[in-house]
Amino acid sequence: MSGKKIESVIKKYVDPSKGSLEQEVIENCELSLLQIRDRIALLGNIIEEDLENQIYVYTVNKGASAFANAVVAVRKEDNSLIVEAYAEEGLIKQNIAGKNIIKLKKALSGEKGIFSPRKGINIRLLILIIVPVLVTSFLVSNGIKKKTRNRFANLTANYNTVAEAYNASVKEISIANISNLPETVDYKPTDYDVKLVKRADVKELTTELAQLMNDYKVIVRLEEPTEEWVIERISTIEEISDIGTVTPENNPDGLLGKVGGYYSCIYFSLKGIDQNSIPGVGVVGKGTDAGGAIELYSTLKAAMNRCQYLGQFDNTLLYSGSYTVLGKMVIRTSYKLSNEEQIRVTGMIAETIVDGE
């Protein structure tokens, strides 16, 4: 053998331990599956026809020139045939399985006497062989096409449903600072010609839908983030040394729960800033100077208004640091960081939140 292996097909029909089992690989077989079936039909009775896996199983005709009690399986792989033959042996071992493989090889090669039907049965034999194959091939082909078309139609409907939800949600948040998310998603056409749909189209649309689902999950996370989830995400950042939240009892700027205010504010300190140089007690008491803050708002408008308010202190003595809208959140960083460091820390936080499950 050439090193190829065959998963035993014959075991479905016989117990190999009760007889002789032979395997062989026939290389360089240029015959089509239909031509192989034609030749097998002259050797015995086909008991299994698996067109998808290109497998035929047949029993050998009884008669003076055939070897009884034998089953042969043939599987086509590229230009090779993997053959498995089983036969029951009597007291005198005759290598019946091996002889049936030889007989098959002769039939496949078109050797005279093997693929030469008797006079008077050519047309009948041709009908008996070809018609069932054509009918089976037609039914299988139509079945596959129908399944492919139905799958593509379902994928198209699912894609457009998710696209509609994505487009509706993305209007409620800001993704200006997320480069790999589309501002809008185009819908897939539904007036396509179903006859032109191929398996490759199904595969491509499946990949596109999976990507859109991942993008939509990010949008959903940004649309209604919880305080606990944001804390869980930024806790994974090595440079953050401490985290604290605003409470009704510890509400420095009085914005917690107010109309137009945030529903949560999470302060964080950074290892790169000398905390002893920052006045105040605790990370909330020290404010954004110690590192920064993430403010969570119920609407995009409220978050944008917050940034507009903070912007009036730019280039003044009251400047408190950078501010950026992500979703409905405002990410702020300390004025003690350089411009480059503010951008880097903001990007690090945004990436951690966006990539979080």
Residue-range domain boundaries for the chain: 10-116, 137-223, 227-355
Cα–Cα dist 38/42, whole Å: 7
Under a CB-based contact definition with an 8 Å cutoff, are residues 102 and 25 in contact? no
236-271 residue pLDDT tens: 999 999 999 999 999 888 899 999 999 999 999 999
pLDDT classification of 116: cutoffs 50, 70, 90: very low
DSSP state of 114: T
Beta-bridged to residue 71, according to DSSP, are 59, 86
The mean pLDDT value of the chain amounts to 83
Which of the two residues, 288 and 140, has the higher pLDDT score? Answer: 288
Identify residue 207 by its one-letter amino acid code. Answer: T
Confidence at residue 111, expressed as pLDDT on a 0 to 100 scale: 58
Q: Is the pLDDT of residue 346 over 90?
A: yes
pLDDT of 67 > 50? The answer is no
Our CA angle for 202, 204, 208, nearest 5°, is 115
Rounded Cα gap, residues 299 and 173, in angstroms: 8
Residue scoring higher pLDDT (17 or 111): 17
User: Does 10-116 carry CATH code 3.30.310?
Assistant: yes
Is residue 149 pLDDT above 50, yes or no? yes
Contact assessment for residue 301 and residue 237, using Cβ atoms and an 8 Å cutoff: no
Closest of 140, 119, 127, 137 to residue 32, by C-alpha: 137
Give the model's pLDDT for residue 41.
81
Two structure tokens written together for 205: 């649309």
Q: Which of 30-39, 281-290, 314-323 has the highest mean pLDDT?
A: 281-290
Give Cα 212 to chain centroid, integer Å. 12
Q: What is the mean pLDDT of residues 286-298?
A: 95
Nearest-Å Rg of the Cα atoms of the chain is 36
- What pLDDT is attached to residue 133? 53
Tell me, what's the pLDDT at 131? 55
- C-alpha–C-alpha distance, residues 54 and 75, integer Å: 6
Identify the band that residue 144 occupies on the pLDDT scale cut at 50, 70 and 90: low
pTM, two decimal places: 0.57
* CA-based torsion, 138, 139, 143, 146: positive or negative: positive
Output DSSP code: residue 62. Answer: P
- Element at 244 (helix H, strand E): strand 240-245
Tell me: pLDDT of 344 over 50: yes
Closest CA relative to residue 111, chosen from 120, 102, 119: 102
Count of CB atoms situated within 10 Å of the CB of 340: 8
- Counting residues of the chain whose pLDDT is more than 90, the rounded percentage is 41
